[in-house]
Structure 1
């Protein structure tokens, strides 16, 4: 009963060809989301000064942004299942664009807090919507393509860093820059919407009817979410602490310290572009297992060899190892039950996002008791746990959990 849908889907792909326009449109949404988030990040210092708030207040407002993003994910997941990814994704992109006008126009802490709530909600919504649509597009392809979508998010962030820096050097008002970025999000979301596809159109209706209508084991959903939490916590550690490790532990200048995060980010982006081809050969479980092992080796090298050349290699290995794992987990969550794909993905994406937010704070707390290098043992441990638990991605694992 379960073999027929796969065969039908393969024949459909062969006869009609994969939806390349939908794939490109999904790339655009991922890149646009990365660009919008990156433009906000590079303008945080200006917004802080314009609203006359302290670092402490800013930190609290950023927590509100993160909480709103998590809420947006949980709302967007079931909504994607109800109205379809094709409708939700452009709507989320438009909402994100509108919300981006706010931070540049805020004049005090409470108006900034309100706008960040809206921006966070929009960011969380588009995150789930675009990942859910990416799973739909991937089903129509004969090989994995999810990791490349995540690479486009990184590319969008890189463009934001370059364009944002140029705008800041040119003295362009923050409100103008963020408003222009918001307008871009709206226009691009509207233009790309026509190329999106509905879930179910990637394979014949009769094949979809043969898919068993059973609820996926809750245990498996939480296992995928726990792995996403651990891997994204490790990613968050690199985002906020790589440069500080170079500066404070190795004793480099601030400019040299920036290369630590650069090595991580470049390696992660390159790894995501390469992951899909490798995943087609060895499978998602192997990508997660060996990637986590490589990440553990890279960060362990950073811990024990406080020397710039070796440290750069270590951070690069850490980024390369982490690059492919999360996309595999998101794909697995989106395919557990196609009738509840968005809701299931929202749980896994949401847990991963919590890890991304928690990582820097947890490491910061640990540094009150142990040196920074020793605190890095936590993400190493989480990578090792991922190596041991990667079998949850093997085919048939959901059936084994259901029978246990």
Structure 2
């Protein structure tokens, strides 16, 4: 009698997950490039549309506010629509909105383009991280930091393209047009292989769309500690992005050219830290990595505050990049895991959307907070405030892992096997 063929079902998810992981990394990279192309060319956007210095803060604040709205809408949307579909739809919209920001002809049109950009970015950030969290759960090991490393790499690419556009005095439309022409097809092709939460949850009686009792949202009071960690991390991040150049030049007495270096160094160290961060989580655990990152970030702020000169200040910003870079991806992973264990896969997606709002909260608070403290007190003293806020992460470090930090689904291979 002929022996029955060996079952192949356990192998199929491995191929699917690898494709899903690669395609999602591409999506993170595209988003990093697009966002960098917008924020690094804000002075050119201001000049093109005649936006006054008094009106500019309103334009800049509107983007994260609307992004928060987009994240809230996505929380409700994923009750009925898979996150992969949301991401496939909104990523091209974000790219085209960037092009519109550089190609329209009036301030009012630019405001509409920025509004669309903000709403779509909120949905995009939420859905990307939903997919990242569910993929990590299916893999059974840490991969979330790698996705955010791709985002950092995209940010470096986008900032480099923006520098080239400014160097060659290209118009915004001429800069954005070819880039969007490449990124939109890339995003559409990558979107074909997105992987939502594994089908194994259906066998456990959970609704794969997150509806019903298994997808009930987790109470906000239970998520609040990690939401605060996210907000404080982004206060630290926005401090670097908005104040590093001014701090180095005005407080530490560097040249104008040297003052542009710290943020570039910060971005590079963020990429490096995230590129190796998953290995650290697998070897030492998420709790240890988050604690180490928190101490490094706090030490970076302390060095910046006490720096006697520009080079010491840059060393502080380097430490900041290495420390802060691990906190945000691990916070997404922790919230998703906690909600999954409490209520199931649908609740995990909704929790990630809620958490995503707090990155915009931190971004909105960080820059004005440091500026107000710097003007009223001193900029050296102001650097100690985000340091203290980041240190709050140590209080909640145990929320990032522990024996209850389970991964995997019905299709998962043994943890000793590498599926990608």
* Fold match (TM-score > 0.5): yes
Match of 1:352 among 354, 359, 382: 359
1:256 aligns with 2:258: yes
CA offsets, 1:224-261, max 9 Å, x none? 11110111111111111112221111101011122222
Which residue matches 2:161?
Answer: 163
Which residue matches 1:300?
Answer: 302
CA shift, 1:118, in A, is 0.5
Report the structure, 1 or 2, having the larger helix content. 1
Which residue matches 2:388?
Answer: 381
| Kept after mapping to 1: 8 A contact 2:40/2:162 | yes
| Kept after mapping to 1: 8 A contact 2:293/2:323 | yes
- Structure 1, unpaired ranges of 5+: 1-10, 399-404
| Kept after mapping to 1: 8 A contact 2:290/2:326 | yes
1:339 aligns with 2:346: yes
Which residue matches 2:330?
Answer: 328
Which residue matches 1:392?
Answer: 399
> Aligned pair count?
387
C-alpha change, 1:278 and 1:53, in structure 2 (3 Å) is same
SS at match of 2:254: coil
SS at match of 1:194: helix
CA shift, 1:397, in A, is 7.8
| Kept after mapping to 2: 8 A contact 1:231/1:325 | yes
1:363 aligns with 2:370: yes
CA offsets, 1:124-162, max 9 Å, x none? 111111111111221222320101111111111111122
Match of 2:108 among 87, 107, 110: 110
C-alpha change, 1:16 and 1:266, in structure 2 (3 Å) is closer
Q: Quote the Cα distance in structure 2 between the aligned partners of 1:207 and 1:51.
A: 55
Q: Quote the Cα distance in structure 2 between the aligned partners of 1:393 and 1:80.
A: 24
Q: Quote the Cα distance in structure 2 between the aligned partners of 1:121 and 1:217.
A: 25
CA offsets, 1:83-113, max 9 Å, x none? 1122111101121122123211233332221
CA offsets, 1:191-212, max 9 Å, x none? 11111112223x4642465999
SS at match of 1:360: helix
Which residue matches 1:3?
Answer: none
State the TM-score, normalized to the length of structure 2.
0.86
SS at match of 1:252: coil
Which residue matches 1:24?
Answer: 22
C-alpha change, 1:107 and 1:99, in structure 2 (3 Å) is same
Match of 2:284 among 263, 269, 282: 282
CA shift, 1:121, in A, is 1.0
C-alpha change, 1:15 and 1:170, in structure 2 (3 Å) is closer
C-alpha change, 1:81 and 1:270, in structure 2 (3 Å) is farther
SS at match of 1:82: coil
Matches within 5 A, 1:121-140: 121-140=119-138
SS at match of 1:83: coil
C-alpha change, 1:208 and 1:271, in structure 2 (3 Å) is farther
CA shift, 1:43, in A, is 2.7
| Kept after mapping to 2: 8 A contact 1:12/1:204 | no
Q: Quote the Cα distance in structure 1 between the aligned partners of 2:96 and 2:241.
A: 27
| Kept after mapping to 2: 8 A contact 1:220/1:392 | no
Q: Quote the Cα distance in structure 1 between the aligned partners of 2:145 and 2:98.
A: 27
- Structure 2, unpaired ranges of 5+: 1-8, 406-420
CA shift, 1:306, in A, is 2.1
C-alpha change, 1:334 and 1:240, in structure 2 (3 Å) is same
